[in-house]
Amino acid sequence: MDIETLRHSAAHLLAQAVKELFPDVKLGIGPAIEKGFYYDFQKDEPFTPEDLKKIEKKMKALSHQKLTIEQVSMSDDDLEDYYRKESFKKELAEELDKPIFFKQGNFIDLCKGPHVEDTGKIKNYKLMKVSGAYWKGDASNQQLQRIYGVIFETKEELKEYLHMLEEAEKRNHIKLGKELGLYSFHKEGPGFPFMHPKGMIFWNEIMKLWKEKHDDYEYVEIRTPIILNKELWVKSGHWENYRDNMYETKIDKDEVAIKPMNCPGGILWYNERLHSYREFPMRVAEIGLVHRHELSGVLNGMFRVRAFHQDDAHIYMTKTQIQKEVLNVLKLTDELYSAFGLKYHLELSTRPEKRIGKDKDWDLSEKALKKALEKYGMKYDLNEGDGAFYGPKIDVHIKDALGRTWQCATIQLDMNLPERFDMTFEGKDGKKHRPIMIHRTIYGGVERFVGIIVEHFGGKFPLWLSPVQVRILNVTDRNLKFARAIAKKMKKKGIRAEVDDRAETISKKVRSAQVEKVPIMVTIGDKEEENKTLAVRTRDGKLKFGVESNDLMKKMVKNIKDRELEFSC
């Protein structure tokens, strides 16, 4: 059975159930989407959680009836009556050459199909939520209510998916960010995250890794302004194609915009002087702060923000260097993702119908990307016709601990901006030539990557990434001096240690550290102080007594230096 057909048929079953329970509701559209389906409805009162339960129960009853789903013809009188009741369907029909209708029981819907044979085939589904949605996605149109559902071919797949959602909720990065004191969000700045001290430690460790790896791969780093003149954005094409997502203002009498991308500023830096082929490949990185005007309805913690940092890099080179440089980026990407234990797969997107540039340049670029991927030795998906209008690209989709995929890294060949900005270099022949330009990012939006990593580890970060690496717990005030001396020794070794000196029981202190997901807890009582040893408890509950402090620190320092994902005492 085709899964897309099943999902689409489930949307129709949802619509039929809603119409039978709420006859006055008007129907919008109901397509198949990834993992499931949705249907839009116009209803004066909002759907409640209790309504969703009733609707799902009705869907199951209709499934059991095994109603035949068949295409039908409608008389002019029937059509007139149908359109009178369903104004949204009438609007859709007027846009079609020949409207097609399907019937199941007494329910008729405007739809091009296809569908399963009968409603009995529609099983293993679950209604998930209700949200607002503008008719045809246009904010100037009426707002409807959208009911989302998921459906799978087997009960086991549905059960696994619902279990994954439960786990995902436990790992929700917004909730964990607050509990762990990493970051927060405030109504005074929607879409603009606030980073807390522990969050900055987390951030800085991620960026420290990034900088080390980029030094290894011989990148230079620049920084460009966040506000630039309108003329630049007109020249780059953003003013025409991206203006709705840009923040604009005036400085004196000049129109300016806050940058939504780093590329044009980087090109101004490049064009400061004439470059030679001897400098190529030139790898130029920028952790640039960009701003994009996102609608309030799509904001989602760190995953969708209005201000974020992009770990951009632009590589300037000759045509013969494309393959080697793409391979270099893939290797760098692998090294960075491996530090977090992330798996990934690759996707090559080729020339779209609407594009710029000469076919011979597209041939050369696509061939170079394919050769680089083949040499890299990892299987990749081919996404024909989905490249950028200025060049083909490789997207990297990472997989987190729950099996969810996220598109973060991208490698894009650009034949547009070098032309628009008249970028040149001096070749071996002493003449000016046009460089090839790669746009690439690995973390993507760093804020979004932070959110992904928080959920990937569920807040249980490896030692090198943990804001607090060890918490020292004194049993009584008598042990406080020794506890502080151990913390001081650890800090001198570069270990992030702190003492919990609250007047609480040791069990409460242990519980607090576990809730905050501190990797290592060191307990110091009279026995430990007398023997000059430590009682060490790891986050997974393992407890070891009589540990020498120097031995513990030696293991920790090595674990942190090597950025290992696990620690054992």
**Residue that has been written with the tokens 């149109």 in this structure:** 141
Q: Could you tell me which of 47, 181, 60, 39 has the C-alpha nearest to residue 110?
A: 39
- The side-by-side arrangement of strands in the sheet containing 393-399 is 220-221, 282-291, 307-317, 436-445, 405-414, 393-399, 343-349, 380-383
Catalytic residue among 104, 146, 263, 321: 263
Among 104, 145, 310, 321, the active-site one is 310
For 117-138, b where at least 16 C-beta lie within 10 A, e where not — what string? ebbebbbbbbbbebeebebeee
- Asked if 3 and 121 count as a contact pair (C-beta separation under 8 A), the reply is no
Candidates 158, 83, 92; CA nearest to 123 is 158
| Local structure of residue 391 (DSSP, 8 states) | B
The H-assigned helical ranges of 155-295 are: 155-170, 173-179, 197-216, 230-236, 238-241, 263-270
Q: In the annotation, is 292 catalytic?
A: yes
Whole-angstrom Cα distance, residue 167 to residue 153? 22
Does the active-site annotation cover 439? yes
Rounded Cα distance between 268 and 260, Å, is 16
Verify whether residue 214 is a known catalytic residue. Answer: no
Catalytic residue among 109, 312, 400, 414: 312
Catalytic residue, chosen from 314, 351, 440, 471, is: 314
- Which residue among the candidates 292, 306, 517, 537 is catalytic per the annotation? 292
Residue 393: active-site member:
yes
Task: Indicate if 263 belongs to the active site.
Answer: yes
What residue type is assigned to position 293 of the chain? H
Half-sphere exposure of 59 (CA within 13 A, CB side): 23
- Catalytic member of 58, 115, 291, 393: 393
Catalytic one among 7, 146, 439, 509?
439
Active site residue ranges? 263, 292, 310, 312, 314, 393, 439
